[in-house]
Structure 1
């Protein structure tokens, strides 16, 4: 959810940067150009409102422990949009005194050069903020890709270790069987030696007895 909210934030930053820049250009445009800027600005404001509604839906799904933090950010974005709408209302000429749904009324006030300069400064600042958000989002995506690759590598290494462990178990079992076979062979060899020794003793005893009986008879 946080990733989706961050995506909406990025889109919102781009929209508000465009609105601020267009308001600055609106103040120095010709009458025909102002008509074009009014349509564009109103369209961008409507898109920004839709993004704020999407953000509101996402905030409702956030865990209660983090919901307040996201709601505070959302309130800041709403205040920013309201401020931009008020600046737009103040910058409109009486020639285009058209109602706007998001405001109670527009005041046809001509901006001073200082106000225009502040608007342009704000536009540049918001554009820089939008660029920073874009860069942060790009870094986030790159970090996510690196993390995914690391997880894949770890999974592959885990499988390799498991296969090595299985081979060690198999080798252990083979060594155990070989050891048992060797022990069995050694035991049989010792038994056979005892049998040979016993036969030899009996054989020698028989010969000795035969010789003794032979000498006794003589």
Structure 2
């Protein structure tokens, strides 16, 4: 998600730089066609930048709360930059002294064919829409690629977890086997201890009997 947001931010920075360079033109020293072309391109790029901001807003909503505030502040700054660019474009589009509403000299403004101007505007809108669609397709392809990469990472993690589970199960079975061997060994040792105690008692009894017999024999010999 952060990678896609940074990609949008990078595209926005490029558009901002392009718009600022177009607005920096000294329109008083260029032809009316150059002025119209620069403002049309600047307006189209501003709309594309607005689309990027909308996409970034969607991405920010999906961020975890731990980083959302930082990206929200960055997005707020980008919105402010976009609003300033849009104000600058509108200011450049206002008719100046000796210019008509379209930015043409008054004589050209009156001679301009309204139907031709409408066709040009429609053509520009179509070109702008096609360009926005192509960029949206590219972003969609990039999002799809990121989703596929994430899916591959998730599949690898699942495989690792499966292998670790098998290892844990094998270790558990080994521990169960070791417990069984320990139980058998404990029972064997307890049996051996009881046998040793029994033999010790028997040996003690035999010794006592032998001592008594020896004393009895000595008593009978002496008395």
Structure with the bigger RCO (C-alpha within 8 Å, sep 6+) is 1
TM-score by length of 1: 0.48
TM-score by length of 2: 0.47
